Structure 1
């Protein structure tokens, strides 16, 4: 009998578009004639929560469980929230804005008797006053966020829009706390999740249920569902896989998780899932499984028959979004920044230009793991074939290429192929700030529909960029980001502070570089990350080489990724968090460029030593 597979994204991930893992796997399993369905419990649970009846239940639950209800203004206006939540969600679901970016690309639309006489100054001014959809979307987002705050504070401490119970799955070296919480009574949020899970089991009658666990904030909800399946569908097998498993569970030895699941697979899921189906159908033995943990005689065993069955990136079929409720996804506008909004606003088809990272040298990165180290590319023709298939299936022309770092050479070929076939899409991707991104290449990418790029600047210090083997310097980053911006391609920079041996001076100088990059319109968006050592990175493997000492956590058989460290040579960087974020918030909104850096902090800082026109001087060369 052929195995029936159900692929599930557990709560919560992005709400404006589907996480791509199940779509990729369904596309692959369909090509192997394996009966496969997929569902996104993340969006399905979210829209069940934010309904008139459920929000009424939320307020009832809050009254029952709390003497002092937090967010009293929400509570006092509960009837307005209850009566209007359905309308707000409907509004956030029905606005397609991705095409607007393409319309605004210079030269995309022809100019005739009306557009040729357009007063640019009046147009810019009018857009600010007449941007009714965006204004309403922002207010609607605040409405939903207020309810989310109320739920988390009064009903379910684990609730968040893009994660659930993340706090107990992050750095969970022991399974103790997770296992303990799984024994607790379910919350009303979890009750709704399990009702959805029951309906999927009834609808699809699967033999194998596979949960993708991309992040720590997906683990607990997946385990809740798995526990439910074990109780109510005892013959159904359960598998976990995805980014969390691939990074955190490489040394798994605690058998207790197998009270809830039967298999945990590592790295790319295509080969292991194909073998699992064959195993369930009794076509192969256990020792023929690939990259799969299971329980044998009470002990965790890793089965990995070699050589593995390899499915090269270039030979994989296009992801398929069949079964997913594409009309239900929600566009949020929580930050009024044109670049920042891309993560939450609009429907984006997810696709990968290349598997892994072509650079794979950064010392803070998990360069030894398969998803980074195993670089595989494909052709522009193959990519555009997949793009055409996805457009035909979804009707959506927005694409987010979710690469670790999209290779410039392939992006050039992709742009040329899109233009050759006259396929007009809107797209954005993650890159390295390579000097290969010349003004000419950036203009070509923009012409093909590129509206934005994201990339790691990390610590804006040439000494530290060299130490982390980033392969760029500040001058190069300035020129490359400027080339993108000059072609009307928005740039988001990932920023880091607290890198090993980073001094107070370097932190403040880094902020000054960021200020100047914003002021010179080289970047339009950014985000600060406090450095964390990971066990799979070169720094985690060789801490002495970077002047730090690892102090924990002690591995207790479950997850291992984030490490605690002491940096005796560096500054106390946690004290900078609030000031760095305050400065960045202003820069994101085009404000504060003339404010002295000291004014962002509530303690005495070291003045910057950098010239005020440093970035401008790089752009003149």
Structure 2
């Protein structure tokens, strides 16, 4: 008889309200494919649903009324409206879960929702959403309602609460464990109590041998440790594991023994390999062992015969633990990582997909994708194919190890996820999705007629030609986000972004012309950046929005990290690190001085205000000084820099003989008619939005119909432009180069004949 550990995977509060964070789904899919029994839970969602219910709010109001809180005027107003909140909270939650869409009219057109300070600066909703956007208006107002309640909770019973930054300050730049330890040793507040109640019920239901926590962000750490501490109280034999983005970047040098009062094993980088090794080792400690690793067979048998339950630490991979002497050890056996093609399909079973909330926090079209709608998360490739940006953690595995998977396998995974979730929206969460891999994925989706809607992160590189953008749009792409960073060619070169402003302009124009929304990540405060360069960067951003080729953006202040090229070699970038000193706990975010740069902090509010107006098409002609309350230099960027970049001619088709032809349309019908220069062939196309005709010399008609029929029906056969040139009829009275400039060819190119 044999068994294996029963595993529970937990996402602690809080990541997203609208869709599951994918880490546990990936590990569950991987381990489930290897025969393990795995249950997963999103306790962030469960906590929100427990808190924002009539009973949950009743507990909140009761504790506030009984407590010694010094309340603001806003909080006192909300207490006076207590009954209104109790009456409306559950209908609002149902509405945000898309379970009661008819409530939208009442939310928008009557005094249904109690309003507190979040409503003071509410935007002109008719301008923002239009007269037809009733549901979106209501969703935004309902989101403000929840944020009002969150403000009340933070002011009183749950000072660490936040929808996406729960107790974040406790984990940010925490070189020591002291603040977290103090908070965890304190008596649980009301939100902690609710979270622990959820943990008790979950543990009683699942009765796991192993509990794993995914901690992607600093705001997940406190909740994970609270939960782990509770598990240690009620089930001391249960092993607790932690991994995720936060440990991968912050805890790589951990030497804090107290952390391991809560977590038995801390793993780094991709979890699949470390989990396999850990589960094998843990199996050796269970009453009945099942070690599938042949190398451990002798160890297991010896353990069973002698009663020795020691952990086989020599097999562990990228794993921290505390030994019998109370010291922190790191074990990393030299075993290969699990290839990206073998990690399996994310498994979303156990997660209550219909219970997530679609919210609209800010009136930004791209930010809405992050918070509104159910998106299946998937990666096209592991790591980054560029991995050179000097501000990025390029030395870490999640960036540096680049691996792809075949497009056929990716679409297999997509179809499996759709079958399981019933949802066809996908967010590709790559650091930067490779353009050629996206091309192959798009072709495979079109070939199989798999209908999805997708978006993801890219680099604004020249490989994204207008034709490739059109192909991606045809496969379901609706939006891309990419790093423009500091819009200065000098600083882009210093960053090693591998792009120029002119190149970014042409790429974003290609996406926009294809109907794909573009979001630009923007950065200010990069080492040696001057006030002049900051103002010039804002001018470039203004021109991009004025040209209509960027629809959304966000300014980030540069942050120096320990694992980036800037952090590893600050002298090269003329900055001086000033702390913090490495401690026994977290270490990643570094403080620095920039003696050759400007006062970066002063520019932040003005940059944010300008961008907010630009993305709404407002004040695009105002002088840049309008956005700042201090004197700034005049921009030195030419006023028509972006327009000039867009007017540069592209490479003609005749100069691309090795590129592939791809036809997005249907098979045409062929007929002949008399023309001014004799008989001509007429190809009629019946497409979804329109019918159109293309007229060519009669000898070219059958050739063109055959070519387009082949392209439309057989995506496996690659027809290069030079192949078409070889079969081009010489009897048509035109040379191949002339045909590529003819009205018929240009019409086909406009209607969906791509050169990839």
The 3-state SS of whatever aligns with 1:293 is: strand
Find the partner of 2:554 among 514, 527, 538. 527
The answer for the alignment partner of 1:299 in structure 2 is 327
Deviation at 1:337, TM superposition (A): 2.8
Within 2, Cα distance between the matches of 1:125 and 1:405? 34
The answer for the alignment partner of 2:620 in structure 1 is 593
The 3-state SS of whatever aligns with 2:590 is: strand
Say if 1:265 and 1:291, in contact at 8 Å, map to a contact too: yes
Within 2, Cα distance between the matches of 1:136 and 1:323? 30
Point out where structure 2 has 5 or more consecutive residues left out of the alignment: 102-125, 285-290, 297-311, 649-756
The 3-state SS of whatever aligns with 1:71 is: helix
The 3-state SS of whatever aligns with 1:211 is: strand
The answer for the alignment partner of 1:339 in structure 2 is 366
Find the partner of 1:513 among 535, 540, 554. 540
The answer for the alignment partner of 2:665 in structure 1 is none
Find the partner of 2:71 among 52, 68, 82. 68
Say if 1:412 and 1:444, in contact at 8 Å, map to a contact too: yes
Within 1, Cα distance between the matches of 2:610 and 2:574? 29
The answer for the alignment partner of 1:213 in structure 2 is 215
Within 2, Cα distance between the matches of 1:54 and 1:607? 55
User: How do 1:346-385 and structure 2 match up within 5 A?
Assistant: 346-385=373-412
Find the partner of 1:393 among 404, 409, 420. 420
Deviation at 1:472, TM superposition (A): 0.2
Larger RCO, structures 1/2 (Cα 8 Å, 6+ apart): 1
Deviation at 1:230, TM superposition (A): 0.8
Say if 1:424 and 1:449, in contact at 8 Å, map to a contact too: yes
Within 1, Cα distance between the matches of 2:227 and 2:74? 30
The 3-state SS of whatever aligns with 1:339 is: helix
Within 1, Cα distance between the matches of 2:494 and 2:127? 46
Within 1, Cα distance between the matches of 2:338 and 2:100? 35
Please list the CA deviations of residues 375-418 of structure 1 after superposition, one character each: whole Å capped at 9, or x if unmatched. Answer: 01011101100000000000001000000000000101111111
User: How do 1:394-543 and structure 2 match up within 5 A?
Assistant: 394-543=421-570
Within 2, Cα distance between the matches of 1:61 and 1:53? 13
Deviation at 1:134, TM superposition (A): 0.8
Deviation at 1:96, TM superposition (A): 11
The 3-state SS of whatever aligns with 1:182 is: helix
Within 2, Cα distance between the matches of 1:468 and 1:548? 14
Closer, same or farther in 2 for the Cα pair 1:96/1:369, shift >3 Å? farther
Please list the CA deviations of residues 234-257 of structure 1 after superposition, one character each: whole Å capped at 9, or x if unmatched. Answer: 110001101111111111111110
Say if 1:96 and 1:347, in contact at 8 Å, map to a contact too: no
Say if 2:129 and 2:136, in contact at 8 Å, map to a contact too: no
Say if 2:94 and 2:100, in contact at 8 Å, map to a contact too: no
The answer for the alignment partner of 1:22 in structure 2 is 24
Deviation at 1:598, TM superposition (A): 1.1
Within 1, Cα distance between the matches of 2:283 and 2:57? 44
Tell whether 2:97 aligns with 1:93: yes
Deviation at 1:75, TM superposition (A): 2.8
The answer for the alignment partner of 1:260 in structure 2 is 262
Say if 1:431 and 1:454, in contact at 8 Å, map to a contact too: yes
Please list the CA deviations of residues 67-103 of structure 1 after superposition, one character each: whole Å capped at 9, or x if unmatched. Answer: 3345233233222111101000100001799xxxxxx
Point out where structure 1 has 5 or more consecutive residues left out of the alignment: 98-123
Within 1, Cα distance between the matches of 2:486 and 2:528? 12
Deviation at 1:24, TM superposition (A): 0.3
Larger Rg: 2
Within 2, Cα distance between the matches of 1:190 and 1:590? 44
Q: TM-score, normalised by structure 2?
A: 0.77
Within 2, Cα distance between the matches of 1:300 and 1:177? 20
User: How do 1:596-615 and structure 2 match up within 5 A?
Assistant: 596-615=623-642
Deviation at 1:65, TM superposition (A): 3.2
The 3-state SS of whatever aligns with 1:512 is: helix
The 3-state SS of whatever aligns with 1:160 is: coil
Say if 2:52 and 2:89, in contact at 8 Å, map to a contact too: yes
Aligned residues: 594
Q: TM-score, normalised by structure 1?
A: 0.94
The 3-state SS of whatever aligns with 1:458 is: coil
Within 2, Cα distance between the matches of 1:304 and 1:153? 45
The answer for the alignment partner of 2:195 in structure 1 is 193
The answer for the alignment partner of 2:571 in structure 1 is 544
Deviation at 1:126, TM superposition (A): 13
Deviation at 1:448, TM superposition (A): 0.6
Within 1, Cα distance between the matches of 2:270 and 2:508? 33
